[in-house]
Chains A and B, each alone.
Chain A
Amino acid sequence: MAIGRSAVMAPVPSKLYSDDVSLLMVLLDTNPFFWSTASIPFSKFLSHVLAFLNSILLINQFNQVVVIATGCNSCNFIFDSSSVPANPNLENGRMPALCSNLLQKLEEFVTGDEKLSKEVLAAGIGSSLLSGSLSMALCYIQRVFRTGPLHPQPRILCLQGSPDGPEQYVAVMNAIFSAQRSMVPIDSCVLGAQHSAFLQQASYITGGVYLKPQQLDGLFQYLSTVFATDLHSRRFLQLPKPAGVDFRASCFCHKNTIDMGYICSVCLSIFCKHHKKCSTCGRKRQSSLEG
Chain B
Amino acid sequence: MDFKPSRMAVVAKHIEAFIREFFDQNPLSQIGLVTIKDGLAQCLTDLGGSPDSHVKALMGKLECSGDSSLQNALDLVHGYLNQIPSYGHREVLILYSALSTCDPGDIMETIQECKKSKIRCSVIGLSAEIFICRHLCQETGGSYSVALDESHFKELLLEHAPPPPAIAEFAIANLIKMGFPQRAAEGVISICSCHKEAKVGGGYTCPRCKARVCELPTECRICGLTLVSSPHLARSYHHLFPIPPFDEVSLSLLNNPHQRSSRACFGCQESLLIPGNKPNLCVACPKCKQHFCLDCDIYIHESLHNCPGCESFRHSKIVSVTEE
Q: How far is the CA of A142 from the CA of B268 in the complex (A)?
A: 8
Dominant secondary structure at the A interface: mixed
Q: Which 8 A-B pairs have the closest CB atoms?
A: A139-B267, A132-B312, A283-B173, A265-B87, A173-B234, A143-B268, A249-B230, A132-B311
Residues from chain A with a CB closer than 8 A to the CB of B318 are 116, 118
Q: How far is the CA of A248 from the CA of B303 in the complex (A)?
A: 25
User: A52: CB under 8 A from chain B?
Assistant: no
Encode contact with A along B223-248: 1 for CB under 8 Å, 0 otherwise: 01110011101111110110000000
User: B159: CB under 8 A from chain A?
Assistant: no
Q: How far is the CA of A284 from the CA of B229 in the complex (A)?
A: 25
Shortest distance in angstroms between A281's beta carbon and chain B's nearest beta carbon? 7
Residues from chain A with a CB closer than 8 A to the CB of B230 are 201, 247-250, 270
Of B181, B268, B300, which one neighbours A259 at CB under 8 angstroms?
B181
- The chain B residue sitting closest to A276, CB to CB, is B175
Residues from chain A with a CB closer than 8 A to the CB of B173 are 264-266, 278, 281, 283-286
User: B44: CB under 8 A from chain A?
Assistant: no
Given contacts A174-B304, A245-B183, contact A143 B175 (CB under 8 A): no
Encode contact with A along B275-318: 1 for CB under 8 Å, 0 otherwise: 00000000000000000000110011001111110011111001
Of B177, B181, B185, B313, which one neighbours A247 at CB under 8 angstroms?
B181
User: A123: CB under 8 A from chain B?
Assistant: no
Residues from chain A with a CB closer than 8 A to the CB of B266 are 136
Contact at A260–B180, with CB atoms within 8 Å?
yes
Count chain B residues whose beta carbon lies closer than 8 angstroms to a beta carbon of A.
Answer: 62
Contact at A73–B179, with CB atoms within 8 Å?
no
Contact at B229–A263, with CB atoms within 8 Å?
no
Contact at A169–B174, with CB atoms within 8 Å?
no
Q: For chain A residues 169-184, which have a beta carbon within 8 Å of chain B?
A: 169-171, 173-178, 181-182
Residues of B within 8 A of A (CB): 24, 85-88, 166, 171-186, 204, 207-208, 224-226, 229-231, 233-238, 240-241, 265-270, 295-296, 299-300, 303-308, 311-315, 318, 322
Q: How far is the CA of A243 from the CA of B311 in the complex (A)?
A: 31
User: A135: CB under 8 A from chain B?
Assistant: yes
Q: How far is the CA of A76 from the CA of B312 in the complex (A)?
A: 8
User: A241: CB under 8 A from chain B?
Assistant: yes
Encode contact with B along A254-291: 1 for CB under 8 Å, 0 otherwise: 00001111111111101100110010010111110111
User: A146: CB under 8 A from chain B?
Assistant: yes
Residues from chain A with a CB closer than 8 A to the CB of B184 are 244
Of A170, A178, A259, which one neighbours B304 at CB under 8 angstroms?
A178
Shortest distance in angstroms between A140's beta carbon and chain B's nearest beta carbon? 5
Contact at B172–A291, with CB atoms within 8 Å?
no
- 21 A-B residue pairs with Cβ-Cβ distance under 8 Å, sorted by A, are A75-B311, A75-B312, A116-B322, A132-B308, A133-B312, A135-B304, A136-B267, A139-B265, A173-B235, A244-B183, A249-B180, A259-B181, A260-B177, A260-B208, A261-B178, A263-B175, A264-B173, A265-B87, A265-B172, A265-B173, A278-B173
Given contacts A74-B314, A278-B175, A289-B175, contact A178 B181 (CB under 8 A): no
